[in-house]
Amino acid sequence: MKKIVWWSIGVFLVYGACIWVYLFYISDTSIPQSLKGTSVDPATFMNARELMLTEKYSKIRDALFFIRIPYEWLGFILILVLGVSKKVNKWSKDVSRFSLLQTAIYVFWLSVLLLIYSFPMDWISYKLSKAYHITTQPFQGWMKDLFTDFWVNYATMFLVIAVLYAFIRKFSKRWWLYAWIVSIPFTLFLTFIQPVVIDPLYNDFYPLKNKELETKILHLADEAHIPAKHVYEVNMSEKTNSLNAYVTGIGSNSRIVLWDTTLNKLTEREILFIMAHEMGHYVKKHIYVGIASALVLSIVGLWLTKHLARFVIKRWGKALKITSLSDLNSLPLILLIFSILTFAVSPLTNMQSRHHELQSDTYAMDLTGDKQAAIKTFQDLTKSGLSQVNPPYLVKIFRYGHPTILERISFVEKYERNE
């Protein structure tokens, strides 16, 4: 047990040091000499202070991202090795003889432990964002969102875990397949209800106040065959200075949403370009492609989880206090394996996402043909989020679901509209 704990902590510290050295001393975020002085060069649209803040903020933010993931893995290992998971499982059985109630109790206390464990990282991220004026949300509002997250995640996790362990106990060999089959309608259901049930838990949504702009956006939506009767505005300025807009949901629950920060900081031409981009996702059916890709990856992930969990329990089950996968106290192991697999496949999923974003940029340019608005939009997004124009390679492949700003502006500059 001690060996596993100390090795885990040691590997985590060495990894963290390597990430810090890579981001702060090795990686090169400068733009190619041939692009100096062009619209891609941040020196042409940001002042010296903004350039300095962007470099500092981006490096610290990226370091936190890369450190947070193994920090989460370390938490799962400690909960198992120290016997915490086993004790919580035993306590849930002492409280009730009903398996469903046992699951509810176990998942609740595990969720509380993980909330407490992850709080320092959440707090550091919040304070960093606040210090660089990305976040405008007061502490009370941030805590409210944190607890809303907790209850939404708890409800979802309870349903998933209750079904998952029912399958593990009844179908020891093919539980992964039955779990995947059930996940299909569940994923579609969550995607369908998110715009009207989940999102409003965090923010207030209301019809766009600028009716003239709404008419222009709905005209674009009509050209894209999006069944939307309204454009929604959300009061994100209470929480952030960042800019965003999106088209979400499926079928009759599709929604076109603009952050009020976008409305306040961008011109009408830039807003129309952004909305054309978001509509491109709908036209290209990226939501459905994303769901299909997730389902393909999940069936592979569940199959691998079954075999990896069985191997780990056979090899280190005693040290991890796990005797059988069917026991609830094996849940941190399942979460650990799934988290590692998710991280491992993230370069692939991010690459697909970047391809979709490029398709949407192309669609927006085809629809608007407004190069100037597109370039200004990308420059404004860079400034508002203190984002690097040319991030380090590892940051790009593990973090970026969008092409880099360098790639996006370069694409627009070279774009030729097909008449």
Cα–chain center distance at 332: 21
> Is 137 part of any domain?
yes
> Is 218 part of any domain?
no
Question: Which of these ranges, 236-250, 310-324, 347-361, has the smallest mean pLDDT?
Answer: 236-250
pLDDT in tens, 103-112: 999 999 999 9
Q: How many domains does the chain have?
A: 1
pLDDT in tens, 8-47: 889 999 999 999 999 999 998 999 999 999 999 999 999 9
pLDDT score of 341: 96
> Is 35 part of any domain?
yes
Q: Report the SS3 class of residue 381.
A: helix
> Is 419 part of any domain?
no
Question: Of all helices (H) and strands (E), which one includes residue 383?
Answer: helix 371-385
Q: Please check the confidence at residue 375 and state whether its pLDDT lies above 90.
A: yes
What average pLDDT score do residues 273-299 get? 90
Question: Which of these ranges, 98-107, 243-252, 325-334, 370-379, has the smallest mean pLDDT?
Answer: 243-252
Instruction: Scan for tokens 């209470």, then name that residue.
Output: 238
Res. 208 pLDDT band, cuts 50 70 90: confident
Of 353, 344, 342, the closest CA to residue 290 belongs to 353
Token code pair at residue 379: 């420059």
Res. 160 pLDDT band, cuts 50 70 90: very high
Total residues belonging to the chain? 419
Q: How many CA atoms lie within 13 A of 152 on its CB side?
A: 14
CA dihedral 133, 43, 407, 63 (to 10 degrees): -40
Q: Report the SS3 class of residue 257.
A: strand
**Across-strand partners of 206?**
233
Which strand ranges, in their side-by-side order, compose the sheet holding 231-234?
205-207, 231-234, 255-259, 245-248
Is residue 281 part of an annotated ligand binding site? yes
pLDDT score of 418: 65
Res. 217 pLDDT band, cuts 50 70 90: confident
Is residue 277 part of an annotated ligand binding site? yes
pLDDT score of 363: 93
> Is 116 part of any domain?
yes
Alpha-carbon gap, residue 331 to 284, rounded angstroms: 38
Res. 4 pLDDT band, cuts 50 70 90: confident
What average pLDDT score do residues 61-79 get? 94
CA dihedral 381, 382, 384, 388 (to 10 degrees): 150
pTM, two decimal places: 0.89
Q: Report the SS3 class of residue 258.
A: strand
The residues annotated with a catalytic role in the active site are: 278, 361
pLDDT score of 188: 85
pLDDT in tens, 304-327: 999 999 999 999 999 999 999 999
pLDDT score of 255: 77
Question: Which of these ranges, 56-70, 212-226, 287-301, 349-363, has the smallest mean pLDDT?
Answer: 212-226
Q: Please check the confidence at residue 250 and state whether its pLDDT lies above 80.
A: no
pLDDT score of 110: 96
What average pLDDT score do residues 215-234 get? 82
| Percent of the chain residues past pLDDT 70, beyond the cut | 98
> Is 230 part of any domain?
no
> Is 348 part of any domain?
yes
pLDDT score of 175: 95
> Is 231 part of any domain?
no
Question: Which of these ranges, 156-160, 297-301, 366-370, has the smallest mean pLDDT?
Answer: 366-370
Res. 209 pLDDT band, cuts 50 70 90: confident
Number of Cβ atoms within 10 Å of the Cβ of 151: 11
Q: Please check the confidence at residue 254 and state whether its pLDDT lies above 90.
A: no
Is residue 133 part of an annotated ligand binding site? no
Question: Do residues 240 and 381 touch, judged by C-beta distance below 8 A?
Answer: no
Structural domain harbouring 305 = 2-201+285-414
Buried b (16+ CB within 10 A) or exposed e, 270-304: bbbbbbbbbbbbbbbebbeebbeeeeeebbebbeb
The helix-helix angle for 371-385 and 405-414 (nearest 10°) equals: 170
